[in-house]
Amino acid sequence: MLLGSLHRLNCRRTLLFLIPCLVLPFMSQAATAKEPVKLIFDTDLGDDIDDAMSLATIHALQSRGECELLAVTIVKDNELSGPAANAINTFYGRPDIPVGVVKKGVRPQESRFTGSLTNTKNGDKQRYPHTLLSGNDAPEATEVLRKTLVAQPDHSVVIAQVGYMTNLARLLNSPPDEISPLNGRDLVAKKVKLLSIMAGNFGPAKNKPEFNVVQDLASSKKLLTDWPTPVVISGYEIGLNIRYPWQSVEKDFGYVKHHPVHESYLAWDKKPHERPTWDLTSVLYAVRPDHGYFGLSDPGTSTVDDRKLTQFEFDPEGLHRYLTVTPEQIIRVREALVQLTSQPPDVLPEQ
């Protein structure tokens, strides 16, 4: 009896000793867990399907606690691009994310897929519900950018910019106003930590002008010259070499009858095809810069010359770097993007 009591007492003492040992590592991990990346997404949604896929990836990362999507700003001057962003945000359960749109911008051409997102109905209901019915009803992107930045802690915001550079160039040029006494450049320097952009060529196609750069050439030159924070550039060659697998398009979005990314992908081109992940790579780096998905060039400065070509001059004091990728990293990035892009919303919408 006595020996049994002593044994039970020793067991309790051992358990009391072990509990702190088991709990403290978890407490330590929680204490050192990174805060979600405060993210602004500036996009030419409608020009290519990778913008829609990038927005899906952002929502998956937010559901995992890795980022907080503060705002979406649209750089394509088409009235359906803003509503399409609102529809995707609503599908993922976040209808209140602010959407700002460019005014008097470029590329007003109709999209292959934004109309199907915004105009298709199931009976008398929107297939993809959205409250923003026209970009004409949305606030101007510069206003949304300034309001969003002012509300955030200093040096905390990451911007993923995956279209032409009109909105961010206009932000740099914006004067002090009722939103902030700072001009745009000073506001960016105060609030932004990193700009992750998809632009330019740094691989075999470096002697060809790149789409995002040339659509608004003056804004591209302005941004690359005057942006005051670190910039990481995902060049054309990165996304070109990391293509989204067609098998995933066919099989991974069937958890709902109608999925905005799946239907947009097919509206872009119904034939089996694997789109390059240009914009997705900038988003992935913006939120997960320390995962080893990519390499980084040495620092330097990127510019656009008179032939509309992206140049890079290495300089230890430069604020710019560009992404590199190995065959092994390509495999990892593809796998990560499939998992994120196809991840279901936290709550499946009624359809």
pLDDT (tens place) for every residue of the chain, 351 residues total: 433 443 443 444 333 333 333 333 333 333 346 899 999 999 999 999 999 999 999 999 999 999 999 999 999 999 999 999 999 999 999 999 999 999 999 999 999 999 999 999 998 999 999 999 999 999 999 999 999 999 999 999 999 999 999 999 999 999 999 999 999 999 999 999 999 999 999 988 778 999 999 999 999 999 999 999 999 999 999 999 999 999 999 999 999 999 999 999 999 998 999 999 999 999 999 999 999 999 999 999 999 998 999 999 999 999 999 999 999 999 999 999 999 999 999 999 988
The residues, any chain, with a CB within 8 Å of residue 348's CB and separated by 6 or more, are 255, 256
The radius of gyration computed from the CA coordinates of the chain, to the nearest angstrom, equals 23
* Residue 37: both structure tokens together: 């990346």
Across 225-268, the runs of DSSP E, i.e. the strands, are 231-234
Q: What is the DSSP letter of 350?
A: P
Q: With H, G, I as helix, E, B as strand and everything else as coil, classify residue 299.
A: coil
**CA 336/CA 53 separation, integer angstroms:** 13
Quick check: 30 and 60 in contact, CB under 8 A?
Answer: no
Quick check: 246 and 272 in contact, CB under 8 A?
Answer: yes
Quick check: 310 and 271 in contact, CB under 8 A?
Answer: no
**CA 47/CA 114 separation, integer angstroms:** 9
Nearest one of 245, 330, 346 to 292, comparing CA atoms: 330
How many Å is the maximal CA-CA distance in the chain? Answer: 93
Tally of CB atoms within 10 A around 118: 24
> What is the pLDDT, as a whole number, of residue 33?
65
**281 phi/psi in degrees, rounded to 5:** -65, -35
CA distances in angstroms from 80 to 31, 75, 112, 143, listed in the order given: 43, 12, 11, 19
The residues, any chain, with a CB within 8 Å of residue 193's CB and separated by 6 or more, are 155, 156, 157, 158, 229, 230
Quick check: 286 and 158 in contact, CB under 8 A?
Answer: yes
**CA 166/CA 39 separation, integer angstroms:** 18
**CA 210/CA 330 separation, integer angstroms:** 21
Quick check: 91 and 258 in contact, CB under 8 A?
Answer: no
